[in-house]
Structure 1
Amino acid sequence: MDFSIKACDWSKGAQSGFLTGKSDCVVIGVFESQSLSGAALAIDEATKGLVTRIVKAGDMEGKAGSTLFLHEVQGIGASRVLLVGLGKQDAFTQKAYGEAVKAAWRAILGTKIVQVTFTLAQLPVKERSSDWAVRAAILALRSETYRFTQLKSKPDTTPRALKRIVFSVDSADEKAAKVAAKQGAALANGMDLTRDLGNLPGNVCTPTYLGNVAKKLAKDWKLKVEVLGQKQIEALKMGSFLSVTRGSVEPPQFIVLQYQGAGAKEAPVVLVGKGITFDTGGISLKPGEAMDEMKYDMCGAGSVLGTMRAVAEMGLKLNVVALVPTCENMPAGNATKPGDIVTSMSGTTIEVLNTDAEGRLILCDALTYAERFKPAAVVDVATLTGACIIALGHHNAGLFSKDDALAGELLDASREADDPAWRMPLDDEYQDQLKSNFADVANIGGRPAGSVTAACFLSRFTQAYPWAHLDIAGVAWKSGAAKGATGRPVPLLTQFLIDRAGQ
């Protein structure tokens, strides 16, 4: 799809070119119990009161989420007008805007409309600007058009009719809106990659497959890549990582993907993604119900790779390194057993009390490896604990960090990107739950505060740099009829990096 921006002062009506230019459809918003304004008023005047008559007749009352097509409209260049109900103007928040945009796209995608003039980005959304509204509209459209059908015997290859969208914005917002359109498309591409990787089954999306995806990203976007195999991982003495992969016939991979958008001497931001391509729980075997969803246990890795794609397409002026330890967690005669003690890359010995707490075992070695980059900050992303779902449900990701400045940056990014996160505690008192009689640390701390103790475990390997942990177990995918990867937290991570780059 092609997205473009055009400045428009609707008080000048036809002079803007929007009303006389050819288009299949112009989208305008109507508030409930409010006088027409902006684009709606301009089109009403150009059509000699048509919109007013429709509203007075009760065909469009402005109820939130309602839509109405007007066909063969006289007086404007567009052959159709789509009226979108916005609800009460004093309650037109970010959420209300999102609902209006989704309603508009759903109505349009049900037709053969090819080119759209979209005016909703100029609506007065509380505490939001037109450039934010443009990007949000692009992401909403791409979310509505995403389909994962490539593994069906008859995949849906029908092309979408919609090809071009022109956003109208105020003249003062034109430059920022053009940047937002570029970023929105890049972010959507990154999210689609993350969704695809998550939705692929474990027999396709193996550690080797993820490594090949990283290599393709490097080739397409001129990134630097290394994909380390079993022997190289052994040479690094990543004993904790290797303990997880012992029961699998699939070889582990350690992916190092680097984007350089700034000077070589500028410290990079390092993103670490958990890449368990299928998690049976190992010897601590999971129940069979919904175990198929454990193909999503690599969504941390998928989100990191998706973010790297978005950052590269945006051309952000900063350095970013992605580290992805990836393997399967399988039961076998040679698999790690509860009670086994392993030695991490840092030299810390770990008593593995539960082999289903494997994500932290691969991440801790990757976090130690991150030290060699002398990073400005490290953020790890993982579908780490079911306990985080119990604590926060499926709306907020769990954010853990002792660095208030870094945590603040991530929370600000989550709000700007509409990709919510909630800061969780990381007090030293929780560390006591990880005590082991036989090793330096145990890999679990019991049922109380399970997501906190998991983060506490990781924190022991992050003393050399500012660090934050995102537990995305509740937000990386949906179950039930809407089953599928969400693409989160690519928006949060990308916005964090946009802010860091000052772009």
Structure 2
Amino acid sequence: MSTSVGYQPPAVAVAGALPKRPVQSSVLIVPVVSGDDGNGATVVGNPYLDAEATGEIEVALRALGAKGGNEQLTRVVVPALPVSSVLAVGLGKSRDEWSAETIRRAAGAAARSLSGVENVFTTLSDLDLEAAIEGLLLGAYRFTEFRSAKTAPTDAGIRKVTALTPDTRSATKDAAARAEAIAVAVATARDFVNTPPSHLFPAEFAERAKTLGEQAGLEVKILDEKALARDGYGGIIGVGKGSSRPPRLVRLAHRGGGRKGKKVALVGKGITFDTGGISIKPAANMHHMTSDMGGAAAVIATVVLAARQKLPIDVVAYVPMAENMPSSTAQRPGDVLTQYGGITVEVLNTDAEGRLVLADAIVRACEDNPDYLIETSTLTGAQTVALGSRTPGVMGSDEFRDRVAEISQEVGENAWAMPLPEELKDDLKSTVADLANVSGSRFAGMLVAGTYLREFVADGVEWAHIDIAAPAYNSGGPWGYTPKGGTGVPTRTMFAVLEDIAANG
């Protein structure tokens, strides 16, 4: 998969042993644990190091005071090995096995530290091949599109990752290629989120999605503002009419299921910048709203990945794109609009715009009669209040909601199931329309938004709404394989759910 903005991930190879000759600009990543004797880090046993090399590494680590704590990094030189240096990464206390997420985060932390290193060998792959590759590629991610020569990195970054594993059969190489494809999809979503709104407005976003989709063999259709108005997409038109850059709706379809295969709809919020409209946001941190299309970015990356991995199901994505701006043409608090499908909505707060564009897209997606619908969006600040900056909230049909949350936890994106209490619908009553777009209460904002979206899901469709308001964009320091800025959440969750549906229905 090529990306739309220019990130070039390292090449991936699988090997059964270290090279016999020295490799220039290279590092060997070795997992270590806290020593049982309390005296320092101990190398996790693996078949790639003899006793002499292992001893040299441990002596050097203990001389430097390395303890082997989680993600602790210590770099040493071991002349007996064919690499420039060895990077020891801590896994914490010794145990029989570690979770995939522990390996993924350790690999990511290691990759983030390797400025100026072109070739990386890793024995983390001996513990979990796919997690090690995902973590390394995601940790190596860089976004430099808008850096001039004055501040751009001077080194080329990691160019090749070699995963060491005793099993180098074709099935192992296929697993490595799958991990690489997933990491590149996440990087694609990150690229979209990190691209500033000056360069990623609805029409441009739609064209980039079209290019990616066509490269992957998807069916692509774009509705412009005239087609949206003609066909009655009142939510998308209403949100976008305050901007000089008109809205779009992109449809991307992967046909892999045949007549009897399952059909899944994906919907992602694509607000390329959100000022709040007339209900304008405070100036502080408004620049973070460059990430308000994080759901759309993940959906586009996921459907492209599904096509490239040839999943045996149909996946059809609907991506509404708009810019929410205040102007003389913007919708006003108190306006009434008609969502696609006919439901009328009193817009009490123009900053609750995501649910308006999503409702249109959900109704249209349900016209395709999907078995499942997954929608994701940076929807509510209440998600951050309830669950913090790293835990998405999942709402929807009880059984499918729980399935999505469980899979998300397995892949390390850690979504948490949340309820949609029936009484919250009463908070969305309007005196002049079918619904209001916000409630009059300051409580349960994330659940109220999910309740609003539920009104537009067709009967019989199993659905899940993933609120990624904070998890889609890391405004703090990097950690594990997660950089500052766009994270790519929940691309891995959605793809894993698609794989599960393909395998189990």
TM bucket normalised to smaller: 0.7 to 0.9
In 1: Cα distance, 2:311 partner to 2:218 partner: 13
Q: Encode CA deviations 1:432-469: one digit per residue, 9 max, x unaligned.
A: 11111211111111312111111111101103311111
Per the alignment, residue 6 of structure 2 pairs with none
Q: Encode CA deviations 1:212-259: one digit per residue, 9 max, x unaligned.
A: 012101221111100011221122211222211221211111100111
Per the alignment, residue 2 of structure 1 pairs with 11
Per the alignment, residue 156 of structure 1 pairs with 152
Cα deviation, residue 38, structure 1: 6.4
Aligned pairs for 1:369-380 (under 5 A) are 369-380=364-375
Contact kept in structure 1, 2:190 and 2:487, CA below 8 Å: yes
- Three-state SS of the structure 1 residue aligned to 2:226 is helix
1:56 to 1:325, Cα distance in 2 relative to 1, 3 A: closer
1:335 to 1:42, Cα distance in 2 relative to 1, 3 A: closer
Query: What count of residue pairs does the alignment treat as equivalent?
Result: 479
Per the alignment, residue 415 of structure 1 pairs with 409
Contact kept in structure 2, 1:86 and 1:92, CA below 8 Å: no
Amino acid at match of 1:440: D
Please say if 1:86 is aligned against 2:87: no
- Three-state SS of the structure 2 residue aligned to 1:72 is coil
Say which of 29, 32, 39 aligns to 1:30: 32
Cα deviation, residue 4, structure 1: 2.5
Aligned pairs for 1:292-311 (under 5 A) are 292-311=287-306
Per the alignment, residue 127 of structure 1 pairs with none
Please say if 1:260 is aligned against 2:255: yes
In 1: Cα distance, 2:344 partner to 2:256 partner: 38
Say which of 217, 222, 225 aligns to 1:230: 225
Q: Encode CA deviations 1:81-105: one digit per residue, 9 max, x unaligned.
A: 4443433113974354345324433
Give RMSD over aligned pairs: 2.7
Per the alignment, residue 471 of structure 1 pairs with 467
Amino acid at match of 2:251: V
Please say if 1:434 is aligned against 2:436: no
In 1: Cα distance, 2:175 partner to 2:124 partner: 15
Per the alignment, residue 396 of structure 1 pairs with 391
The answer for unaligned runs of 5 or more in structure 2 is: 1-9, 479-483
Amino acid at match of 2:94: Q
Amino acid at match of 2:30: I
1:19 to 1:52, Cα distance in 2 relative to 1, 3 A: farther
1:222 to 1:42, Cα distance in 2 relative to 1, 3 A: closer
Q: Encode CA deviations 1:373-419: one digit per residue, 9 max, x unaligned.
A: 11111111111111111111112101001241x11321222122100
Per the alignment, residue 77 of structure 2 pairs with 70
Contact kept in structure 2, 1:272 and 1:381, CA below 8 Å: yes
Cα deviation, residue 25, structure 1: 4.2
In 2: Cα distance, 1:150 partner to 1:19 partner: 34
1:435 to 1:176, Cα distance in 2 relative to 1, 3 A: farther
Higher normalized contact order (CA 8 Å, seq sep 6+, divided by chain length): 2
1:474 to 1:52, Cα distance in 2 relative to 1, 3 A: closer
Per the alignment, residue 496 of structure 2 pairs with 495
Contact kept in structure 2, 1:5 and 1:169, CA below 8 Å: yes
In 2: Cα distance, 1:228 partner to 1:316 partner: 26
Identity %: 35
Amino acid at match of 1:416: E
1:89 to 1:209, Cα distance in 2 relative to 1, 3 A: same
Amino acid at match of 1:31: V
Per the alignment, residue 5 of structure 2 pairs with none
Please say if 1:240 is aligned against 2:209: no
Say which of 122, 130, 152 aligns to 1:118: 122
- Three-state SS of the structure 1 residue aligned to 2:281 is coil
Amino acid at match of 2:92: G
In 2: Cα distance, 1:199 partner to 1:71 partner: 39
Per the alignment, residue 12 of structure 1 pairs with none
1:242 to 1:4, Cα distance in 2 relative to 1, 3 A: same
1:439 to 1:140, Cα distance in 2 relative to 1, 3 A: same
- Three-state SS of the structure 1 residue aligned to 2:49 is helix
- Higher Cα radius of gyration: 1
1:147 to 1:105, Cα distance in 2 relative to 1, 3 A: closer
Contact kept in structure 1, 2:104 and 2:136, CA below 8 Å: no
Contact kept in structure 1, 2:363 and 2:458, CA below 8 Å: no
- Three-state SS of the structure 1 residue aligned to 2:311 is coil
Per the alignment, residue 7 of structure 2 pairs with none
Aligned pairs for 1:57-456 (under 5 A) are 60-64=66-70, 65-73=72-80, 77-78=82-83, 80-90=85-95, 93-94=98-99, 96-107=102-113, 109-112=114-117, 114-123=118-127, 130=128, 134-154=129-149, 156=152, 158=154, 160=156, 162-171=158-167, 177-263=172-258, 266-404=261-399, 406-446=400-440, 447-456=442-451
- Three-state SS of the structure 2 residue aligned to 1:43 is coil
In 1: Cα distance, 2:79 partner to 2:404 partner: 48
Cα deviation, residue 498, structure 1: 2.0
Amino acid at match of 1:226: K
Amino acid at match of 1:317: P
Cα deviation, residue 142, structure 1: 2.4
Query: Higher helix share goes to which structure?
Result: 1
1:182 to 1:430, Cα distance in 2 relative to 1, 3 A: same
Q: Encode CA deviations 1:124-158: one digit per residue, 9 max, x unaligned.
A: xxxxxx3xxx2222232223322222123336364
In 2: Cα distance, 1:220 partner to 1:335 partner: 36
1:382 to 1:47, Cα distance in 2 relative to 1, 3 A: closer
1:79 to 1:189, Cα distance in 2 relative to 1, 3 A: closer
Amino acid at match of 2:261: E
1:377 to 1:3, Cα distance in 2 relative to 1, 3 A: same
